[in-house]
Amino acid sequence: MPAVPYIINFFRERNFKIGIASSSPASIIEMVMRICNITEFIHVFVSAEDMQYGKQHPQVYLECAEQLNVDPSECICFEDSVNGMIAVKAAQMKCVIVPSLSAIKDPRWAAADLKIASLQNFNALHLNMF
């Protein structure tokens, strides 16, 4: 997603713990973190590749919260897929959906807590909503 460095810095400046919960294999997650130059800012990353369930199931998100030692209800997750959004909400976490432009009008996004067109659009006012 464009603006990944922006959103990482936004939360880092506020001393949030930052985790990645993904259905992608761990090797892909690590590669993307290196490419985006964010590896040092990620406290935990969890891959669902070896878990019994992938997204729509909340397992990968719950495992990430556990490894971060935070209550799931205190987590804010950014997603770009319907299955991811369903997993976030099933984990009882806050969901900010950042859909592709071609899917931005999908009515299913109504289940998210917030829909934004770009990570760059997230700001302190949005954070205070949660």
Q: Which long-range contacts (CB under 8 A, 24 or more apart) does 6-12 make?
A: 6/119, 6/120, 7/78, 7/119, 7/120, 7/122, 8/38, 8/41, 10/122, 10/123, 12/41
User: Taking the model in full, what pTM does it have?
Assistant: 0.91
What value does the mean pLDDT take over residues 67-81? 97
- Per-residue pLDDT of 33-51, as tens digits, reads 999 899 999 999 999 998 9
Residue 123 has pLDDT above 80, yes or no: yes
Structure confidence at residue 2 (pLDDT): 73
